[in-house]
Amino acid sequence: MKLERHSKIVELIGKYEIDTQEELAERLKQAGFAVTQATVSRDIRELHLTKVQAANGRQRYTVLHAGGEFNDKYIRVLRDGYLSMDMAQNILVIKTVSGMAMAVAAALDAIHFHEIVGCIAGDDTIMCAVRSTDDTILVMDKIHKLVAGDMPK
């Protein structure tokens, strides 16, 4: 049950800009988990969640990664190699500079987008399996923001 709850928490904070323990507890309850504030507080500690500034200026929970929310090195690789992307339902196809697909795919894996299940890379093309069509649109928006420099690190 704890593993399922932790998985749901990571999913929820990836999908919504949750900024309080109370909001997280409420979303967990809506998803069918009977939780108390103490349980949510303990889960936050165990998952090493931290708060970062969201696009709207408010704080939101995120999974803590070494070197901040996103490591600059991975963002730089993504920006340097990225050319374009398109979707086919829940498959995201990313075109890269020749020879950069594996590096960009590794950068995407390191950034840990919850919506991406996994990536397969060739020489200049990456195929990402995404959880749903809606999630594919979200990931495309996130990648556009990262490449444009609009997403906080």
Lowest-pLDDT choice from 10-19, 56-65, 98-107: 56-65
Residues of the chain with CATH 3.30.1360.40: 72-148
Q: Which of 75, 90, 95 is nearest to 138 (CA)?
A: 90
Supply the mean pLDDT for the chain: 86
* Residue 58 DSSP one-character state: S
Cα 60 from Cα 52, distance rounded (Å): 6
Cα 3 from Cα 99, distance rounded (Å): 38
Which CATH number does the domain 2-63 belong to among 1.10.10.10, 3.40.50.11720, 3.30.930.10, 3.30.9.10? Answer: 1.10.10.10
Structure confidence by residue, pLDDT tens digits, 62-117 = 876 544 445 677 888 888 899 999 999 999 999 999 888 988 998 898 888 889 99
Number of other CB atoms surrounding residue 97 within 10 Å: 14
The model's pTM: 0.55
% residues pLDDT > 70 (the chain): 91
Residue appearing with tokens 């490591």: 71
Number of H helices and E strands in the chain, helices first, is: 6, 6
Number of other CB atoms surrounding residue 120 within 10 Å: 12
- Which pLDDT score is estimated for 151? 55
Which CATH number does the domain 72-148 belong to among 3.40.1390.10, 3.30.1360.40, 2.60.120.460, 3.40.250.10? Answer: 3.30.1360.40
Residues of the chain with CATH 1.10.10.10: 2-63
As a whole number, mean pLDDT of residues 3-25 equals 88
